Structure 1
Amino acid sequence: MGEREWYFFSLRDRKYPSGLRTNRATGAGYWKATGKDREVVSGANGGLLGMKKTLVFYKGRAPRGEKTKWVMHEYRLDGDFSCRHTAKDEWVICRIFHKAAEKKSL
């Protein structure tokens, strides 16, 4: 498609109907969370707006998947903007991009 990154809205798919665990499996592999969730704060007053989760795509099935250079940032509302009473229908904004090879400096 020629684009460097893609953005889309998505409902967080639940692994189990009554649980909070998220299903991140696909037909070709799975998205694995890396590190801790990071806070997204307002530039105006420093208040908490939401959270950002970083995920990496692995080809194949867990736990023997092959790591790829595809990265996804998942943004969700939190704090005063969160709708916790509808957690089963939680929407997120996703940004997907292919991580470029790092340049080696001499």
Structure 2
Amino acid sequence: MLLVSDEPEHLTHARTLVDLATGARLPTCYPFRDLVLAGGLMAYYRDLLDAFRQLATQMGQILSGQNPAEMPFRQPTNFRLSVNTNAAQKIGVVLPQAILVSADEVIE
């Protein structure tokens, strides 16, 4: 299994990454949903709506006078899983039912 890191240039080269992994028949997990939409097998990523909510809360605290240096560092708490069943079929992988059921999004 190949795990792709979350470098920003991976979005720029999404099609190339997906084509290389598919051509090598490598089950691959991506850090961005866009790569699954481009034909990748699966992505496990931070829920961006939750991230923006946390950001808005912190900005509100800063604007109300709280010192940013004294604010706690917030770790991501909500993640999403997207799975592409067409990609699985192309590389010859049978996805376990548990993965399909637990996925937040199944793309066919």
**Higher relative contact order structure (alpha carbons within 8 Å, sequence separation ≥ 6):** 1
TM-score interval w.r.t. the shorter chain? Answer: under 0.3
**Bigger Rg, structure 1 or 2:** 2
Q: Normalization by structure 1: what TM-score?
A: 0.25
Per residue, is there more strand in 1 or in 2? Answer: 1
Q: Normalization by structure 2: what TM-score?
A: 0.25
Per residue, is there more helix in 1 or in 2? Answer: 2
